[in-house]
Amino acid sequence: MKTKASFKGIKGRWMRNDITLIALIIVAAVVALSIAVWSYYYAAVRTGLENKAQTAVEFFTTYVNKSYLEYYQSAYRYTESFEDKDSVELQFVNTKGKVEVSSYGISAGSSPGTSDIEMALKNGKIASYSGVSTSTGERIMSVSAPMKYADGSIVGVMRYVTSLKRVDRRIWAMTGGSLAVGALVVLFVLLSNLYFLRTITEPIHELTGVARRIAEGSYGIQAEKKYNDEIGDLTDAINEMSQRISQAEKMQSEFISSVSHELRTPLTAITGWSETLLYDQEIKDDSRRGVQIISKEAARLTKMVEELLEFTRIQDGRFNLNIEQMDIEAELEDSIFAYGEFLRQMEMEIDYKSGERSLPLIEGDPERLRQVFLNILDNATKYGKDGKLIEVSIGEESGYVVIRVRDHGPGIPPNELPFVKKKFYKGSSKERGSGIGLAVCDEIVTRHGGDLIIENAGGGGVRVTVRLPVVRR
């Protein structure tokens, strides 16, 4: 049995649990790494801007200690000589939150309105902000440091502003790289798990196939042992079981064959002498009735012995067919005629319907097929005797000759139908028999390339259908 692409069973449970867990761990790791990287880079940028602002404010405060005009002039000169203007914008913001001087020039006169400016003016301490610029729409980080006169009053705010575009790009690059690595890890785990599971599931599938074949009757077959582990131990156990069943089956067949052969001689003598005694007119009344019972029971036992011998031939591989061109309809009619006297004794009738047109000759073994017909008629009589009627029909359907035999008895319990063709199966029936007649019939019909179908008929009773191909395949 091939392993299916859609994961089921052990493979499905293993893959769902293992891969899901690993994927969740990797996603959690990537998220944690992204947060850590984001925090690290943003903290680094903030710290850099705060250091710049702290140094610049300390330097600037030394020279700005008199008037606002002096502050403004110094701020203008400082922005003119600002060296990092390519990556950082320097702004001087007045106490009303408006930009007085900017290293970019275009920002002068605007009101950024960010929280860092408000906090720096309110608390007199360095404050930072990260978010979206209202003027450009890009993500920025800004640091505002209050600038004070000598008396401690705030004259304005020195503000450093930088774009987070490069930082965000680097963070996303690292996150993407982490996701790629995580995906490769998941892929590696997936492939390694598939390989590992293959070494488990394939031997199990093979052992399942062997077990099914043993259950179907292929006793003695052996499974190949590939691994010296738990699966190897299971293989050994199945092989040992198969061997022991084969030996037991062989002993059973030999015993049945031996007993059957031993029974044939005395049964032949009993049958012969009982028939001879029936010709003796001196035997009358209860004695004659007793001899008739002996003859009848001897015939029943003889039939059972023949069935057992047929069974042992099937088991030993000595069951052969003598195939020839035959008239199947004539063979069925002969079987009905041969069984007619017994049916009259049972006060039963046969309603026989032949085909509407002549049937072609088929390739078959006349003796074996007559054995099938007689067995089916015997079962219909035995189990359907209360219905007093057996319906038999024959015809050609879609390249098959189809024979149907129906009784009007109580039928077969639905839970027993799947097993009626199994050897030695008798179900809940109280009728006497060996339980192998239908098993032999099924073997005969199957070897002819046909089908033996047993089912309950609508309205009561059992319908047995024999399908035989017009041309053997």
452-464: b (≥16 Cβ within 10 Å) or e: bebeebeeebbbb
On the question of pLDDT at 7 being above 60, the answer is: no
Q: Which two tokens stand for residue 253?
A: 């067949």
Give the pLDDT score at 402: 94
E strand residue ranges, 36-98: 88-93
Confirm if 84 and 170 have CB atoms less than 8 A apart: no
Q: Is the dihedral of CA 460, 464, 469, 470 positive or negative?
A: negative
Give the pLDDT score at 430: 62
SS3 of residue 463 by DSSP: strand
Q: What is the pLDDT of residues 353-403, one digit of tens each?
A: 887 778 888 999 998 899 899 889 988 888 888 888 999 999 998 889 999
Distance in angstroms between the alpha carbons of the first and the last residue of the chain: 26
pLDDT band, very low/low/confident/very high, at 142 (cuts 50, 70, 90): very high
pLDDT, mean of residues 25-51: 88
pTM: 0.50
Amino acid identity of residue 235, one-letter, is T
Confirm if 411 and 404 have CB atoms less than 8 A apart: no
pLDDT, mean of residues 162-179: 88
- Residues 56, 73: Cα–Cα separation, whole Å: 16
On the question of pLDDT at 239 being above 60, the answer is: yes
Q: Is 285 exposed, middle or buried (0-12, 13-18, 19+ CB in 10 A)?
A: exposed
Q: What is the pLDDT of residues 412-451, one digit of tens each?
A: 888 888 888 877 676 666 665 556 778 888 888 998 999 9
Strand (E) or helix (H) holding 464: strand 462-469
pLDDT band, very low/low/confident/very high, at 189 (cuts 50, 70, 90): confident
Give the pLDDT score at 407: 92
Give the pLDDT score at 432: 58
Give the pLDDT score at 450: 92
Q: Which residues have CB under 8 Å from 78's CB, separation 6+?
A: 56, 60, 90
Q: Is the dihedral of CA 81, 82, 86, 92 positive or negative?
A: negative
Amino acid identity of residue 395, one-letter, is G
Give the pLDDT score at 250: 75
Hunting for tokens 């320097």 — which residue is that? 90
- Residues 366, 355: Cα–Cα separation, whole Å: 19
The greatest distance separating any two alpha carbons of the chain, rounded to the nearest whole angstrom, comes to 161
Give the pLDDT score at 345: 80
pLDDT, mean of residues 213-241: 84
Q: Tell me the pLDDT of the chain averaged across its residues.
A: 82
Q: Which two tokens stand for residue 97?
A: 């939150």
Q: Which residues have CB under 8 Å from 214's CB, separation 6+?
A: 221, 238, 241, 242, 245
Give the pLDDT score at 196: 80
Give the pLDDT score at 5: 42
Find residue 145's DSSP bridge partners.
158
Q: What is the pLDDT of residues 69-114, one digit of tens each?
A: 777 777 788 887 788 888 888 888 888 888 888 888 766 778 888 8
Give the pLDDT score at 378: 86
pLDDT, mean of residues 143-167: 85
Strand (E) or helix (H) holding 442: helix 437-447
**C-alpha dist (Å) from residue 51 to 45, 207, 462:** 10, 73, 100
Amino acid identity of residue 5, one-letter, is A
Give the pLDDT score at 2: 44
- Residues 192, 188: Cα–Cα separation, whole Å: 6
Give the pLDDT score at 3: 42
pLDDT band, very low/low/confident/very high, at 473 (cuts 50, 70, 90): low
- Residues 279, 290: Cα–Cα separation, whole Å: 14
404-427: b (≥16 Cβ within 10 Å) or e: bbbbbbebbeeeeeeebbebeebe
Give the pLDDT score at 317: 65
Give the number of other CB atoms < 10 A from CB of residue 156.
Answer: 26
32-59: b (≥16 Cβ within 10 Å) or e: ebbeebbeebbeebbeebbebbeebbee
Give the pLDDT score at 64: 56
Percent of the chain with pLDDT over 90: 13
More confident residue, 296 or 402: 402
Strand (E) or helix (H) holding 365: none
On the question of pLDDT at 306 being above 60, the answer is: yes
Give the pLDDT score at 315: 66
Out of 1-10, 137-146, 271-280, 315-324, pick the least confident.
1-10
More confident residue, 219 or 132: 132
